[in-house]
């Protein structure tokens, strides 16, 4: 993978940073794209001189275009795109949700994934190969009260993944999605601290008895872009410790 390049959005922290580290360890040159350009550059420096960081707002067409042009100039190719950029919703009852924030959540997750896929996908198609991994959520495939915007955005990403996969399969481009469950990131720890997530109850609800680590999601992304997955496109890979499979009453785990 020493000549291959991966662009990862929202990669200065959390799951995205774990992905950046994982892809770098696998030999990819990584372009860390994040709203915080300074932190993206700092993270890239941590990985080494073969990597780069850039500021990007995935909802702005000019930013997306500039990022694609940077990838062209710096690396001359793009083999992998991971659409990881996202923002949290506010966990509010439906009647208390404001349209400005609702629209922003959809813009970052759904519009951002579309715009990045369109810009980088065009380059992959021209090269005759490439792999895109979109990040969904269990919120997009189940009913989670107080999470309308986030759930709708993630459901849209899953649908768009399938559509793009079918459209581009004959042009050498594979598109898949990961459906993470609850991942132990700084954001989730903050929600636990604020009382918005009951950590003990959540762990009992997960058959494997614990939350995922960011590296678990990175490992799934690395699999989906690998040669081992060369005949896999248009699929959603659920990485949730059995959360979505469990349907019995009571606790799924005593962990």
Q: Average of pLDDT values for 159-163?
A: 98
* Cα gap 150→141, rounded to integer Å: 11
Q: Average of pLDDT values for 154-167?
A: 98
Query: Which member of 28, 150, 182, 231 is catalytic?
Result: 150
Q: Average of pLDDT values for 51-73?
A: 97
Residue 184 Cα distances to 135, 145, 170, 192, 244, angstroms: 16, 21, 37, 10, 17
- On the question of pLDDT at 69 being above 90, the answer is yes
Residue the block writes with tokens 């040159």: 29
Structure tokens at 221: 């992304």
Structure tokens at 12: 């200065």
Q: How confident is the prediction for the chain on average, in pLDDT?
A: 95
Residue the block writes with tokens 């993944």: 161
Q: Which domains does the chain have, with CATH numbers?
A: 5-183+213-239 (3.40.50.720)
Quickly count: other Cβ atoms within 10 Å of residue 35's Cβ.
Answer: 18
Confidence of residue 103 (pLDDT cuts 50, 70, 90): very high
Which pLDDT score is estimated for 1?
62
Active site residue 150: yes
Nearest partner of 137 among 125, 153, 148, judged by Cα:
153
Residue 109 Cα distances to 74, 98, 106, 235, 241, angstroms: 26, 17, 5, 18, 23
Burial (CB < 10 A; 0-12, 13-18, 19+), residue 209, is middle
Structure tokens at 121: 């996908």
Q: Average of pLDDT values for 97-118?
A: 97
* Cα gap 249→255, rounded to integer Å: 16
Confidence of residue 84 (pLDDT cuts 50, 70, 90): very high
- On the question of pLDDT at 2 being above 70, the answer is no
CA torsion, ordered 56, 60, 62, 64, to nearest 10 deg:
50
Nearest partner of 84 among 128, 134, 151, 44, judged by Cα:
134
Residue the block writes with tokens 């986030």: 150
- On the question of pLDDT at 255 being above 80, the answer is no
Q: Average of pLDDT values for 19-31?
A: 98
SS3 at position 164:
helix
Return the ∠ at Cα 30 (arms to 25 and 36), rounded to 5°: 120
Which pLDDT score is estimated for 190?
87
Least confident of 54-68, 89-103, 151-165, 188-202: 188-202
């Amino acid at each position: 993978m020493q000549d291959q390049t991966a662009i990862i959005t929202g990669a200065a922290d959390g799951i995205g940073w774990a992905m950046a580290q994982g892809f770098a360890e696998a030999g990819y040159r990584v372009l860390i794209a994040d709203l915080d350009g300074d932190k993206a550059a700092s993270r890239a420096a941590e990985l080494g001189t073969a990597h780069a960081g850039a500021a990007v707002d995935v909802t702005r067409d000019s930013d997306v275009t500039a990022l694609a042009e940077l990838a062209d100039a710096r690396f001359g190719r793009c083999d992998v795109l991971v659409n990881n950029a996202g923002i949290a919703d506010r966990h509010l009852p439906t009647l208390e949700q404001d349209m400005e924030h609702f629209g922003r959540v959809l813009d970052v997750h759904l519009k951002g994934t579309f715009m990045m896929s369109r810009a980088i996908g065009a380059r992959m198609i021209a090269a005759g190969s490439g792999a895109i991994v979109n990040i969904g959520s269990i919120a997009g495939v189940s009913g989670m009260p107080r999470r309308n915007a986030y759930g709708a955005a993630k459901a849209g990403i899953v649908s768009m993944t399938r559509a793009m996969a079918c459209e581009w399969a004959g042009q050498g481009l594979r598109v898949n999605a990961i459906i993470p469950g609850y991942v132990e990131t700084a954001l989730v720890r903050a929600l636990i601290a604020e009382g918005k997530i009951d950590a003990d109850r959540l762990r009992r609800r997960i058959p494997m008895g614990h939350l995922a680590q960011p590296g678990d999601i990175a490992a799934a992304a690395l699999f989906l872009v690998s040669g081992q997955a060369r005949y896999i496109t248009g699929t959603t890979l659920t990485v949730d410790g059995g959360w979505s499979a469990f349907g019995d009453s009571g606790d799924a785990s005593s962990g």
